[in-house]
Amino acid sequence: MVPSAVPPVTFPGTVRERVFLVRERIEQAAARAGRSTEGIRLVAVGKMQPADRIGEAAEAGVTAFGENYVQEAEEKIRAYPGLEWHMTGKLQGNKVKKAVSLFSWIQTIDSNRLLSDVSRRCGEAGKVMPVLMEVNLGKEPGKSGILPNDLPGLVERAGALSGVRVTGLMAIPPLTERPEESRPWFARLRELLADCRAQGLAGRNMAELSMGMSHDFEVAIEEGATMVRVGTAIFGSRPGRKA
């Protein structure tokens, strides 16, 4: 375990300035863990943010963006088609076809049915979608994500599907007051990924760990995150949910 030196989360300045500060903190966390930042992807989550904020972050050098709602994402993706777009929210069955047409990655696969639907729609579209399995680490009722004990079976079933490529795991741990309290959950997700790899369930493609958000992404990096999903630390407070 790497000792953490996480400062209080603050959101000063413009989007450009916030991007700079977040990247600086990513570099510092990677250095503490003896890692290179080349293996860490910043995914700026623009949920409920206006499209022009996406443009500001893109101008600051961000290339990967996350969205939680397919309908909201569509206008942003149409406005900024050259970026890498990640589905980071719960994906409803009736939105799968549209999501497959819009997104570069789907990070929230949590059932065999959803996995099969995404693969089928990708087959129809002539594409192979990189996907992450979302894990409900805390086994929280009503929360999205597959339970840890069910993960190996779902990953194994994915190997028989031609429209998806399982590249790793994603999680939103139980809410904590202090970033350091998220560390055991991040370590657990890393262990689950190692177990899947050791069992040969998804081959060498399964290497991504999407974990850590605005309040705890530094701890996540120290524990091996390859993707951090940062929203408010870049865009500021959300103005309100869109339909």
Report pLDDT digits (tens) over 50-90.
999 999 999 999 999 999 999 999 999 999 989 999 999 99
Q: What percentage of residues in the chain have a pLDDT greater than 90? A: 85
Question: Residues 172, 216: contact at Cβ < 8 Å?
Answer: no
pTM for the model stands at 0.92
Question: Residues 84, 65: contact at Cβ < 8 Å?
Answer: yes
Q: What are the φ and ψ backbone dihedral angles of 21, each rounded to 5 degrees? A: -65, -40
Question: Residues 51, 75: contact at Cβ < 8 Å?
Answer: yes
Query: Which class is domain 15-235?
Result: alpha beta
Average pLDDT, the chain: 92
Q: How far is CA 20 from the centre of its chain?
A: 20
Find, among 95, 93, 76, the residue nearest to 85 by Cα. 76
Give pLDDT, residue 240. 55
Question: Residues 23, 42: contact at Cβ < 8 Å?
Answer: yes
Distance in angstroms (rounded) separating the CA atoms of residues 41 and 23: 10
Distance in angstroms (rounded) separating the CA atoms of residues 224 and 149: 21
Give pLDDT, residue 237. 83
Q: Are strands 41-45 and 129-135 parallel, antiparallel or unpaired?
A: unpaired
pLDDT one-digit tens code per residue, 215-229 = 999 999 999 999 999
Find, among 216, 130, 133, the residue nearest to 173 by Cα. 216
Q: What are the φ and ψ backbone dihedral angles of 86, each rounded to 5 degrees? A: -115, 130
Residue length of the chain: 243
Distance in angstroms (rounded) separating the CA atoms of residues 124 and 129: 12
Distance in angstroms (rounded) separating the CA atoms of residues 81 and 103: 10
Q: Which residue is listed with tokens 């569509």?
A: 74
pLDDT one-digit tens code per residue, 86-116 = 999 999 999 999 999 999 999 999 999 999 9
- Residue 156's Cβ-count burial label (10 Å; 0-12, 13-18, 19+) is middle
- Apex 201 CA angle, 196 and 207, nearest 5: 55
Q: Map out the domains of the chain as residue ranges.
A: 15-235
Name the residue type at position 196. C
